[in-house]
A and B are shown apart, each in its own frame.
Chain A
Amino acid sequence: MSFISRGFRGKRRDTASSSRLPPGQYIVTDYPVLSAGPTPRIPLNEWTFVIEGEIDKPRSWNWEEFRKLPTEQVTKDIHCVTKWSKFDTGWTGVSMDKILEGVETAAEYTVQFSYGGYTTNLPLEDLTGGKAWVVYEFDGQPLHPEHGGPARMLVPHLYFWKSAKWIRGIRLVNEDEPGFWETNGYHNYGDPWREQRYWGD
Chain B
Amino acid sequence: MTVQQSDLKLDGNAIGGLLREIFTMEMTAAEGTCSSCGKVHAVGQVEVYMNAPGVVVRCPACGQVQMRIVKGGGRYWLDLSGIRCLEFSSE
Q: Tell me if B51 is interfacial: C-beta within 8 Å of chain A.
A: yes
Q: Tell me if A15 is interfacial: C-beta within 8 Å of chain B.
A: no
A82:B53 contact, CB within 8 angstroms: yes
What A residues does B52 contact at CB under 8 A? 34-36
CB distance from A85 to the nearest CB of B (A): 15
B interface residue count range (under 10 / 10 to 19 / 20 to 34 / 35 or more):
20 to 34
A interface size (C-beta, 8 A): 32
A-B contact count (CB 8 A): 78
Q: Mark B41-85, 1 if CB is under 8 A from A, else 0.
A: 000000001011110101000010100101011011101000000
Task: Please pick, from B4, B70, B73, B76, the residue contacting A38 in the complex, using a CB distance under 8 A.
Answer: B4
A186:B53 contact, CB within 8 angstroms: yes
Task: Please pick, from B4, B65, B68, B73, the residue contacting A145 in the complex, using a CB distance under 8 A.
Answer: B4
Q: In the complex, which residue of chain B has the Cβ closest to the Cβ of A161?
A: B53
Task: Please pick, from B6, B65, B73, B76, the residue contacting A39 in the complex, using a CB distance under 8 A.
Answer: B6
Q: Interface on chain A toward B: helix, strand, loop, or mixed SS? A: loop
Task: Please pick, from A34, A40, A183, the residue contacting B3 in the complex, using a CB distance under 8 A.
Answer: A40
Q: How far is the CA of A185 from the CA of B8 in the complex (A)?
A: 22
Q: Tell me if B24 is interfacial: C-beta within 8 Å of chain A.
A: no
Task: Please pick, from B2, B5, B56, B77, the residue contacting A36 in the complex, using a CB distance under 8 A.
Answer: B56
Q: How far is the CA of A181 from the CA of B71 in the complex (A)?
A: 12
A32:B51 contact, CB within 8 angstroms: yes
Q: Tell me if A152 is interfacial: C-beta within 8 Å of chain B.
A: no
A and B contact pairs by CB, cutoff 8 A, 15 listed = A35-B6, A35-B8, A35-B49, A35-B51, A36-B56, A37-B6, A81-B53, A180-B68, A181-B68, A184-B54, A184-B68, A185-B72, A185-B75, A185-B76, A199-B77
8 smallest beta-carbon distances between A and B, as pairs: A185-B77, A185-B70, A36-B56, A36-B52, A38-B3, A198-B73, A184-B68, A184-B79
